[in-house]
């Protein structure tokens, strides 16, 4: 799930379900296929029903972390806070189960791969309609078309969505995910809009391998046989988007009052920098894995952990992640400790290097900085959430990711003496002669504490004074893409449960963080490409292990710090699921008892 | 008869006043200051703080930046008795007088070193204001006419700069940027100076740019009332030049009110720094500032109240001390103003 904004915290649980799904999925396709979870039951839906909305009651108050949600436009979302809203207000063709990570039916009821493996066809439900919140009546209404009939979500809306994300004019930072798989995607997405005429651009757009065969059937054509496709096709960048609304309102279509969606919830109110509220969509048909919502309104505040915790303790919030400073107290408190849940999530907390800037252009310096971080002590004394010290990037538990059991010595571990020696070897004994170094993180109290502890570790273990700076999330993400500092902080959460989503999509040349690292290694690229094609799980894992060695040790392009857990408090009257997807909750499965 | 008597009485009184020993302005002020208990207290505390700031390395039991991660959030037992709600999860460690913070740094030592940051701003502001403002105001007031008009209009324009916004703007433009590492640029030079003074540079600059105007106006006003006085005329008739009159005759006479005004402004400067550090724009970590310590402590207020309360107490005490001292000085230099508020 893209870049992780806030810091939650974790312990290792290898998700057995993932492994079994992967094994089961290895069919005739030449690519590892962690595809469909429960077999979708094809439903015969003959006509669009307009249900009379049954009253849904109850309110839920949560927190999304400090800073405004960057966007709720599916084409433009890149971070966990945006995706949380997007996934509740629109639904993909497929959807990940938030606890097992299995791919389940979304708007599509069934999908199949063609004999040559290059084409995927999805059958869509025909009972989902576009809705909007009417600010005047305070009710959620169906969007009507010219003939005053409810607009049904069709395959054309999905085709439009994918093409809009890929359109170079949309400038989506996440389009690359589709480029990797969809035929003609990269050519269209990277087209030079200034040089090409409208007609030429249209030609490229038409060549993109996404096509609505009829109102409720959509076909994807891939570059090579791709088992991942059902997962990728379910991602938010490929959600249906309202072409009529975007044509009319432009960028402002996501604002409250204009917004139209079709998920179990829709946008009610968005007070920028303060809170965002979604309201239950009574027209949502309710499917086996995406039920009708049971809570009418969900509000997320945009607070740092401490004020959110205060809200929780005074009853103004129904769930909260525990600030680092309060973990010991919560664990000792007889009442709060019962409401506490520490569980792993599929995310990795790391620091990256800008390998273009001195002195981080030297891999020895980078490795020295990585080895000087005492992850065990950091977790024990600062983060305190049973996280696992990370030795490499791809989170164990993902298909293809190495595990500590099989690869106990892979990657990087704390070694102060070796770090010091490496720095001397690089020509900076005891940090002498180093230029000014800046470590930057997005504004958040947890990140600050971690940064200060690591700043001191570098000072003690290497003799280097590092400057720390922070920026607000929205600004920070831009900084990373335009002029990233020597060392920067990010977290990465899975978009689909496979190491491919970590190693290849983030750190490969032209991957998601390429502009921030400026790091490119032919051997690494070849390894992750090869691993993507490999079908034997053991061989794949071995390939990823080799790639990880280059990434975190030989080239040391990043510092893996820890594998996340979430440390969450939930009021006893809330019946909920605990997502491992990294902050992406499926609220429609939650219930709130009267309290 | 009655009329006569009273007339005689008046004469006598006038004679008495003349006979009384003429104390100098300064001695008189000191006498009045020492009789003001609150001001004396404030002065003593201020002096104590200055000593603490100077001798911080000898007073502080530990280094302010050294983290002992395993000692995070510890408290001594006396403190735990003060905050009994923290019992049960706080680890006890008698080695920290006021407890340790979230990365195991001694809170007491950090408060001691924090004095340096606060006081450096407290004195830097008035210093710049006195130097620039007094000279500017003196020149403007002394020459009057067109010079005065031009100079004062410039002050009016400068007055439009809100200090805090200016500082925040400076920080946003020059700091918190990733380009700090390209040597040779203005930004690089400024940020490296900034790094050398622990992140205080832009606070100094911001205060420097905005603090002198008030002083300039005050100085000018004082001079306007002085320059027509007889002793100035006298000095002029015996051939004293402009500079000599300004330095020898006018400045000593206006310095009192200026010092009072600046002493009263000290708490404002301290609060600027604390405020900026609180919102994360002040000193660079790990340099301790009370503002940033309060901000950090506020994060753990519910679990470890000591981490916010003690730096806040230190800040409050300092503000009180300088306020009382300033009030006392004002009363001392100009008893007519007593109780009028500034």
HEC-encoded secondary structure of A433-478? CCCCEEEEEECCHHHHHHHHHHHHHHHHHHCCCEEEEEECHHHHHH
Residues B108-135, mean pLDDT to the nearest whole number: 88
> Where are the extended beta strands (E) located within B30-175?
none
In this prediction, residue A93 carries a pLDDT of 95
pLDDT band at B166 (very low <50, low <70, confident <90, very high): confident
Q: In the predicted model, is pLDDT for residue B237 greater than 70?
A: yes
Q: Closest residue of B to A486, CA-based? A: B178
Q: What does the mean pLDDT of chain B come to?
A: 81
pLDDT tens digits along A12-52: 222 222 223 333 333 333 333 444 444 444 444 545 555 55
Q: State how far the Cα of A439 lies from the Cα of A456, in Å rounded to an integer.
A: 12
Q: In the predicted model, is pLDDT for residue B229 greater than 80?
A: yes
- Please tell me if residue B172 touches chain A, with a CB cutoff of 8 Å: no
- Please tell me if residue A483 touches chain B, with a CB cutoff of 8 Å: yes
Comparing A299-303, A409-413, B118-122, the range with the smallest average pLDDT is B118-122
- Please tell me if residue A324 touches chain B, with a CB cutoff of 8 Å: yes
In this prediction, residue A49 carries a pLDDT of 52
pLDDT tens digits along A200-236: 999 999 999 999 999 999 999 998 887 778 888 999 9
pLDDT band at B215 (very low <50, low <70, confident <90, very high): confident
pLDDT band at A2 (very low <50, low <70, confident <90, very high): low
pLDDT tens digits along A337-369: 999 999 888 999 999 999 998 889 999 999 999
Q: In the predicted model, is pLDDT for residue A256 greater than 60?
A: yes
The listed range with the strongest mean pLDDT (A196-205, B84-93, B233-242) is A196-205
Token digits for B327? Answer: 């009030």
Q: Which long-range contacts (CB under 8 A, 24 or more apart) does B30-36 make?
A: B30/B332, B31/B332, B32/B331, B32/B332, B32/B335, B33/B328, B33/B329, B33/B331, B33/B332, B36/B327, B36/B328, B36/B331, B36/B332
Using a CB-CB cut-off of 8 Å, the residues of chain A touching B90 are 328
Residues B20-26, mean pLDDT to the nearest whole number: 61
Q: Do B302 and A310 touch (CB under 8 A)?
A: yes
Q: State how far the Cα of A311 lies from the Cα of A305, in Å rounded to an integer.
A: 10
CATH superfamily of B2-337: MetI-like (1.10.3720.10)
Tell if the pTM clears 0.90, that is, is over it: no
In this prediction, residue A284 carries a pLDDT of 94
pLDDT band at A556 (very low <50, low <70, confident <90, very high): very high
Using a CB-CB cut-off of 8 Å, the residues of chain A touching B199 are none
Give the nearest partner residue to A471 out of B66, B176, B301, using CB atoms. B176
In this prediction, residue A9 carries a pLDDT of 31
Give the nearest partner residue to A436 out of B192, B286, B304, using CB atoms. B192
pLDDT band at B93 (very low <50, low <70, confident <90, very high): confident
In this prediction, residue A35 carries a pLDDT of 41
DSSP string, B76-95: -HHHHHHSGGGTTTPPB-TT
**Reduced to 3 states, what is the DSSP secondary structure of residue A230?**
helix
Are the C-beta atoms of A55 and A140 separated by less than 8 Å? no
Domain boundaries, chain A: 343-566
pLDDT tens digits along B278-300: 887 778 777 889 999 998 898 88
Q: Do A483 and B178 touch (CB under 8 A)?
A: yes
Q: State how far the Cα of B131 lies from the Cα of A135, in Å rounded to an integer.
A: 60
pLDDT band at A394 (very low <50, low <70, confident <90, very high): very high
Question: Which residues are paired to B106 by β-bridges?
Answer: B100
- Please tell me if residue A479 touches chain B, with a CB cutoff of 8 Å: yes
pLDDT tens digits along A518-533: 999 999 999 998 888 8
pLDDT tens digits along A280-336: 999 999 998 999 999 999 999 999 889 999 999 999 999 999 998 899 999 999 999
pLDDT tens digits along A42-81: 444 545 555 555 678 899 999 998 889 999 999 999 888 9
pLDDT tens digits along A82-92: 999 999 999 99
Percent over 70 (pLDDT), chain A: 91
Question: Which residues are paired to A119 by β-bridges?
Answer: A221
Chain B nearest C-alpha distance from A376 (Å): 11
pLDDT tens digits along A91-150: 999 999 998 888 899 999 999 999 988 999 999 999 999 999 999 999 999 999 888 999
> What fold characterizes domain A343-566?
Dipeptide-binding Protein; domain 3 (3.10.105)
Q: Which of B106, B107, B302, B304 is the best substitution to test chain A (most A C-beta atoms within 10 A)? A: B302
Q: What does the mean pLDDT of chain A come to?
A: 87
In this prediction, residue A24 carries a pLDDT of 32
């Amino acid at each position: 799930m893209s870049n992780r904004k806030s810091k939650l915290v974790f312990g290792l649980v290898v998700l057995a379900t993932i492994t079994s799904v992967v094994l089961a999925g290895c069919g005739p396709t030449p690519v590892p296929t962690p595809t469909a979870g429960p077999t979708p039951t094809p439903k015969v839906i003959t006509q669009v029903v307009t249900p009379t909305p049954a009253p849904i009651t109850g309110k839920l108050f949560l927190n999304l972390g400090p800073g405004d949600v960057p966007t709720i436009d599916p084409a433009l979302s890149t971070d966990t806070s945006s995706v949380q809203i997007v996934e509740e207000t629109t639904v993909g063709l497929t959807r990940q189960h938030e606890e097992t990570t299995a791919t389940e039916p979304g708007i599509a009821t069934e999908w199949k791969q063609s004999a040559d493996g290059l084409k995927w066809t999805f059958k869509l439900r025909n009972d989902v309609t576009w809705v909007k919140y009417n600010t005047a009546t305070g009710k959620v209404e169906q969007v009507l078309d010219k003939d005053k009939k409810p607009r049904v979500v069709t395959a054309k809306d999905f085709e439009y969505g994918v093409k809009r994300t890929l359109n170079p004019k949309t400038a989506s930072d996440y389009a690359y995910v589709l480029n990797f798989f969809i035929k003609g995607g990269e050519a269209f997405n990277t087209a030079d809009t200034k040089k090409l005429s409208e007609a030429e651009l249209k030609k490229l757009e038409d060549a993109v391998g996404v096509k609505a065969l009829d109102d409720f059937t959509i076909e994807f054509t891939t570059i090579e046989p791709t088992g991942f496709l059902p997962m990728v096709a379910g991602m938010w960048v490929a959600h249906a988007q309202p072409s009529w609304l975007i044509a009319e309102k432009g960028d402002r279509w996501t604002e409250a009052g204009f917004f139209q969606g079709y998920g179990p919830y829709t946008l009610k109110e968005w007070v920028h920098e303060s809170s965002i509220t979604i309201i239950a969509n009574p027209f949502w048909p309710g499917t086996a894995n995406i039920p009708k919502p049971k809570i009418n309104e969900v509000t997320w505040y945009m607070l740092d952990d401490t004020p959110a915790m205060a809200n929780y303790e005074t009853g103004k919030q129904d769930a909260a992640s525990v600030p680092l400073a309060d973990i010991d107290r919560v664990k000792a408190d007889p009442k709060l400790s019962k409401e506490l849940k520490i569980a792993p999530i599929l995310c990795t907390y790391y620091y990256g290097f800008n390998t273009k800037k001195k002195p981080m252009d030297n891999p020895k310096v980078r490795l020295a900085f990585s080895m000087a971080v005492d992850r065990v002590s950091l977790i024990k004394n600062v983060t305190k959430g049973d996280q696992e010290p990370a030795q490499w990037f791809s989170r164990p538990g993902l298909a293809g990711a190495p595990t500590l059991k099989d690869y106990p010595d892979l990657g990087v571990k704390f070694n102060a003496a070796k770090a010091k020696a490496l720095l001397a070897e690089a020509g900076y004994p005891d940090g002498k002669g180093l230029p000014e170094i800046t470590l930057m993180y997005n504004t958040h109290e947890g990140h600050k504490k971690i940064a200060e502890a690591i700043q001191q570790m570098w000072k003690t273990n290497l003799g280097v004074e590092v400057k720390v700076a922070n920026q607000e999330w929205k600004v920070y993400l831009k900084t990373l893409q335009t002029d990233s500092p020597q060392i920067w902080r990010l977290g990465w959460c899975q978009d689909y449960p496979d190491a491919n989503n970590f190693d290849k999509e983030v750190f490969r040349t032209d991957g998601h963080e390429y502009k921030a690292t400026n790091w490119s290694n032919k051997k690494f690229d070849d390894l992750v490409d090869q691993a993507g094609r490999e079908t034997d799980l053991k061989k794949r894992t071995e390939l990823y292990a080799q790639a990880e060695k280059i990434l975190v040790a030989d080239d040391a392009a990043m510092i893996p710090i820890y594998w996340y857990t979430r440390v969450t408090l939930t009021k006893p009257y809330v019946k909920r699921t605990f997502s491992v997807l990294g902050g992406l909750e499926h609220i429609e499965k939650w219930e709130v008892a009267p309290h | 008869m009655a009329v006569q008597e009273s007339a005689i009485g008046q004469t006598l009184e006038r004679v008495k006043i003349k006979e009384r020993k003429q104390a100098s302005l300064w001695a008189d002020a000191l006498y009045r200051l020492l009789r003001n208990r609150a001001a004396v207290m404030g002065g003593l505390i201020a002096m104590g703080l200055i000593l603490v700031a100077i001798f911080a390395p000898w007073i502080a039991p530990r280094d302010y930046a050294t983290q002992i991660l395993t000692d995070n959030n510890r408290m001594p037992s006396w403190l735990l008795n003060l905050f009994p709600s923290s019992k049960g999860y706080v680890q006890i460690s008698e080695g920290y007088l006021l407890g340790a913070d979230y990365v195991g740094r001694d809170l007491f030592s950090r408060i001691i070193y924090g004095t340096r940051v606060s006081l450096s701003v407290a004195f830097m502001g008035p210093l710049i204001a006195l130097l620039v403002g007094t000279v500017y105001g003196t020149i403007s007031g002394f020459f009057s006419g067109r010079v005065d008009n031009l100079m004062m209009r410039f002050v009016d324009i400068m007055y439009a700069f809100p200090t805090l916004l200016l500082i925040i703007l400076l920080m946003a433009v020059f700091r918190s940027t990733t380009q700090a590492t390209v040597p040779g640029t203005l930004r690089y030079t400024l940020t490296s100076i900034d790094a050398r003074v622990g992140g205080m540079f832009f606070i100094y600059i911001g205060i420097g740019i905005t603090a002198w105007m008030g002083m300039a106006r005050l100085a000018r006003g004082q001079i306007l009332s002085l320059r027509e006085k007889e002793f100035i005329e006298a000095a002029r008739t015996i051939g004293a030049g402009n500079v000599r009159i300004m330095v020898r005759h006018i400045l000593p006479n206006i310095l009192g009110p200026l010092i009072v005004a600046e002493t009263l402004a000290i708490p404002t400067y301290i609060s600027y720094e604390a405020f900026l550090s609180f919102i994360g724009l002040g000193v660079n970590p790990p340099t301790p500032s009370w503002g940033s310590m309060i901000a950090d402590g506020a994060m753990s207020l519910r679990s470890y109240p000591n981490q916010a309360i003690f730096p806040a107490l230190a800040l409050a005490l300092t503000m009180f001390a300088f306020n009382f001292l300033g009030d006392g000085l004002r009363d001392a230099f100009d008893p007519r103003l007593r109780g009028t508020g500034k």
